[in-house]
Amino acid sequence: RGPEAVHFVPAALEPGTEVLLSLDWERRFDHMQQHSGQHLITAIAEQMFGFKTTSWELGRQRSLIELDTPSVTAEQVEALERSVNEKIRDRVPVTVRELAAGDPEIETVRSRGLPDDHVGPVRVVDIEGIDSNLCCGTHVSNLSDLQVIKLLGTEKGKKNKTNLVFLTGNRVLKSIEQSHSTEKALTSLLKNGPGEHVEAVRRLQSSVKLLQKNNLNLLRDIAVLIARDFKSKPAPRQLFVLHRKEGDSEFMNIIANEIGTEETLLFLTVGDEKEAGLFLLAGPVEAVENLGPRVAELLGGKGAGKRGRFQGKATKMSHRGEVQALLQEFISHRSLEV
């Protein structure tokens, strides 16, 4: 605030208290690498292509530079990456200096402006022969400390801008290590070399799609057979209850369509037997309108219905017995009234 640095501490300190400051150097050096890397990328992007930086974000795993352009081509990204890494290999010095607040040189230094409450000297970070920028952040003392910069590509930004994603220094090494570990795991699982991973996954996806299609067709056939078996009984029951773990909404609706709901009350459920799943209550319109919300409540779920069907999601499938008892009681009362 103004000329005073603000520090945040976990508890209040009495004035004059002597304290020990412990610096997380790994974190600090990471921030220095990312910040100096951003200065370098920003400067070279503007010099090469006229792309101005409007903001940037230091992320926990990767960082973003917002460029004031609607698009950046892959060729431009490649050329930019090649150029910034050449500067790193040239071992260009990075220095910090201070200018008096009224120094006219401030106007020649790249800046987004000073805070309204700024007082005292102005801090300038120079990348020799490449960039001068007003900055209060921490930086490396030489571009060689950045080791390497990897541009991961671009993402669509806001208001016709483009986000350039990058890694610097140790983050590049960590990313390579993580990618290599993933590659080794895939090699073991897929039983082929890294160059064949993509094709192997494509084949697996095709196989899974075919299996899912076949499984769906089998479920449909099973649903029809279940319904026909029920209808073939000499004295159809007024209540039909069924649970099938691997079913889905279509499975339940096929059974309801095949059996018919003019006289029979159907309570169908699919999913985990004790936890979450789907339910369908189908039958005479008046009965379903009356019982649907109560069924959903017993199952710890939510649902909606129309024209004699009430369906939804449940979180307490273990309460199916309570629902069955409710429906049986309803049918018994209806039979007595008849």
Pairing mode, if any, of strands 239-244 and 265-271?
A: parallel
Cα dihedral value 162, 163, 164, 169, nearest 10? 160
> What ranges do the domains of the chain cover?
25-112+121-186, 227-335
DSSP at 142: B
Residue 285: other Cβ atoms inside 10 A: 14
3-state secondary structure of 80: helix
Residue burial 164-189, b: 16+ Cβ < 10 Å; e: rest: bbbbbbbbbeeeeeeeeeeeeebeee
Best CA proximity match to 37, nearest among 9, 11, 8, 63: 63
Contact 48, 150 (CB under 8 A): no
Contact 258, 224 (CB under 8 A): yes
3-state secondary structure of 215: helix
Structure tokens at 200: 């192997």
Residue-level length of the chain = 338
Q: What is the CATH number of domain 227-335?
A: 3.10.310.40
> Cα-atom radius of gyration of the chain, to the nearest Å?
34
Residue type, 61: Q
Please, which residues bridge with residue 64 across strands? 57, 165
- How much is the pLDDT for 337? 56
Each residue's pLDDT tens digit in the chain (338 positions)?
777 888 888 889 999 999 998 999 999 999 999 999 999 999 999 999 999 999 999 999 999 999 999 999 999 999 999 999 999 999 999 999 999 888 888 888 887 777 777 778 889 999 999 999 999 899 999 999 999 999 999 999 999 999 999 999 999 999 999 999 999 999 999 999 999 999 999 999 999 999 999 988 998 999 999 989 988 887 667 889 999 998 899 999 999 999 887 888 999 999 988 889 999 999 999 899 999 999 999 999 999 988 899 999 999 999 999 999 999 999 887 765 54
Distance CA 239, CA 267 (A): 8
Please, which residues bridge with residue 165 across strands? 64, 153
Structure tokens at 60: 């926990």
**Fold for domain 25-112+121-186?**
Threonyl-tRNA Synthetase; Chain A, domain 2 (3.30.980)
Best CA proximity match to 101, nearest among 88, 114, 82: 114
3-state secondary structure of 59: coil
- How much is the pLDDT for 236? 63
